[in-house]
Chain A
Amino acid sequence: MSAMTLSHHTREASFWRVLEIGACYLLGLLWILPLFYAVWMAVHPPAYEVRFELFAPVTLQNFVDAWNAAPFARYFLNTFALITTILVCQFVVCTLAAYAFARYEFRGKTVVFMLVLIQLMIMPEVLMVENYRTISKLGLVDTVVAMGLPYMASAFGIFLLRQTFLTVPKELDDAARVEGAGPLAVLLKVYVPLARPIYVAYGLVSVSYHWNNLLWPLVITNSVTTRPLTVGLQVFASPDQGVQWSVISAATLMTSAPLLIGFLLFQRQFVQSFMRAGIK
């Protein structure tokens, strides 16, 4: 009797378990479907946009068409210049500031730190009206530098590096100083090497943020020679221009490809980096 109810119970439990697992896979499928579909559109002739046949002819023509329809090579170059400029400047600026906050005592430290943290809330794009005014006063409208300037001192980067520098044992710092190293030498020889994983994490977050950023570059650029990929794609793929969906799909995938491929290759590092950046 008890054995019967038990088996009845486990059968019921396993039924729910299967249902639950099925629901999990369904959610995963639902989430990846839009991307699969974009790939489907991009690699088939326009006639197969909504016709799903297993043996539909595969073609790369859409990519060729997209590549020829707009100066994407130039846009790639611009994006590349943009993310390198931002990344290098962010590393330098944030490292110096984080070091000051982590290892020096000075008057007004707390106030300055709070002022820095304000930028976590008020991101540069919210202030685009005034920032546009500043950039035009500097005569920098439509330059790569202008796209990067508001982001170079990043509160997020300063905070992240400060937290990391705080965990560096004081003894290492003191030892280096006893050997006669100055503050900058200590920073470069002790702190920066120890914080390497954090630099990787912050770098990945920053690159994917700025590769994808649209609004501020859209406001501040107006020519092919500075436009990054996102703005180029926006100009190209306005629906009223009558471009084929399959070509838009191809262009969309093409411009996201470096990040996508990078993500698929280094998935573990990517996810761990985002995790690291998120834990304070």
Chain B
Amino acid sequence: MKKTNNMVAPWLLLLPATVLLAAFTHIPAVMTFINSFYRTPRGNRPARFVGLDQYSNMLSDPVFMAALKNNAIYALGTVPAAIALSMLMAVIVNSAIRGRALLRMSFFLPTVLPMIAVANIWLFFYTPGYGLIDQFLGLFGFHERNWLGDPDTVLGSLMVLAIWKEAGFFMIFYLAALQQISPTLSEAAALEGASRWYFFRRVTFPLLMPTTLFVMINAIINSFRLIDHVIVMTRGGPDNASTLLLYYVYNVAFRFWDAAYASALTVVLLAALALLAFVQFGVLDRKVHYK
């Protein structure tokens, strides 16, 4: 391309994208931050600058604290499990096992289904006494449990569903990465008499590192972003034991109509995501090799 090209062309090309991104990502992000320092106008009481009041309210808000804790547990539970399972699935599907295509389909299918459909199906599994899980456990003499109605089991129940839904999706990325690994490596290792487990640990696993990073970041984002199953299955209950951060934002904004407090809560979410971005671009990218 000639350097004499006018400077207008690229900006014209970028115009629709930048306008839309500014309108629905950048400006809202900044406005969220600004609005978090105000009070929601109600009736004849106008919005008023309240400084850090929303944030100090937050610290004494037990629901927020519960949501923060739940989200941390949720991420720490689902992300490593989904990574390990998806890696295992990819290795299985990439091996010479008979019925590969069927296995791949079975792993991937939950990904194609809407989260709300999955939640509906699982809602029945978890039904106390009558549901499939209790019927199955009943065969071994276990008592019925109210899986979604008990604060001790509700978050775990949601996590199992999330892992089931996501693992197949991440498997695809591992599968793509595995197929890039040269077969001569495993042939050489077999000649040297290396066990398959040794080969996986010393060769495959390190080579999959960039994929693992990619999957990890996406899994963490999803753990903050996807709350469909909370809406359908538990509505955050019982006793806020399954409230996740974004679900709390949704509730505060569209049930209590307190936009200012919802903004302050969103800022916490944004901070978490920014930290994640910093980790990805700043720290890990230097350690992991990309093409």
Contact = CB atoms under 8 A, between A and B. Distances in A.
Interface of A: 21, 24-25, 27-29, 31-32, 34-35, 37-38, 41, 49-50, 92-94, 96-97, 99-101, 103-107, 109, 112, 115-116, 118-119, 121-134, 149-150, 152-153, 155, 158, 170, 173, 183, 208, 211-212, 214-215, 218-219, 229-230, 233-234, 237, 239, 245, 248-249, 252-253, 255-256, 259-260, 263-264, 267, 270-271, 274-276, 278-280
Contacts of B139: none
B139 to A, nearest CB: 12
Contacts of A278: 172-173, 176, 214
A248 to B, nearest CB: 6
Interface string B173-194: 1011100000000000000000
Interface string B6-41: 010111011011111101111111011001000000
A264 B109 CA distance: 9
A8 B263 CA distance: 68
A40 B111 CA distance: 20
Nearest to A262: B112
Nearest to B266: A129
B232 A234 contact: yes
B228 interface: yes
28 contacts: A24-B103, A25-B99, A27-B92, A28-B92, A28-B102, A28-B107, A32-B109, A96-B14, A97-B14, A105-B3, A116-B17, A118-B26, A121-B274, A126-B225, A127-B25, A127-B28, A129-B262, A129-B263, A130-B35, A131-B28, A134-B23, A149-B23, A153-B16, A170-B1, A208-B112, A215-B231, A275-B176, A280-B214
Contacts of B227: 215
Contacts of B259: 129, 133
Given A126-B270, A152-B20, A106 B7 contact: yes
Chain A contact residues, majority secondary structure: helix
A256 B120 CA distance: 12
B120 A106 contact: no
A126 B224 contact: yes
Given A97-B17, A129-B263, 19 more contacts: A28-B107, A29-B106, A34-B118, A35-B109, A35-B110, A93-B20, A99-B13, A100-B13, A106-B7, A125-B246, A126-B270, A126-B273, A130-B31, A153-B19, A153-B24, A158-B17, A229-B114, A276-B176, A278-B176
A219 B254 CA distance: 8
B251 to A, nearest CB: 11
A263 B231 CA distance: 27
Interface stretch (B44-52, B53-61, B74-82, B121-129): B121-129
B283 interface: no
A100 B32 contact: no
B48 to A, nearest CB: 18
Nearest to B254: A219
Contacts of B88: 27
A270 B109 CA distance: 11
Contact of B92 (A24, A248, A276): A24
A151 to B, nearest CB: 8
A263 B109 contact: yes
A153 to B, nearest CB: 4
The winner among A92, A99, A249, A274 for most chain B CB atoms within 10 A is: A274
Interface of B: 1, 3, 5, 7, 9-11, 13-14, 16-21, 23-29, 31-32, 35, 88-89, 92, 97, 99, 101-110, 112-118, 120-125, 130, 132, 135, 164, 168-169, 172-173, 175-177, 214, 221, 224-225, 227-228, 231-232, 246, 249-250, 253-254, 259, 262-263, 266, 269-270, 273-274, 276-277, 290-291
Contacts of B115: 212, 214
A122 B25 contact: yes
B224 to A, nearest CB: 7
Contact of B121 (A38, A129, A130, A275): A38
Given A28-B106, A126-B270, A128-B253, A115 B92 contact: no
A230 B229 CA distance: 12
B28 to A, nearest CB: 3
Nearest to A255: B117
Nearest to B167: A31
A118 B30 CA distance: 13
A276 B14 CA distance: 24
A130 B124 contact: no
A134 B113 CA distance: 31
Contact of A96 (B13, B25, B124, B263): B13
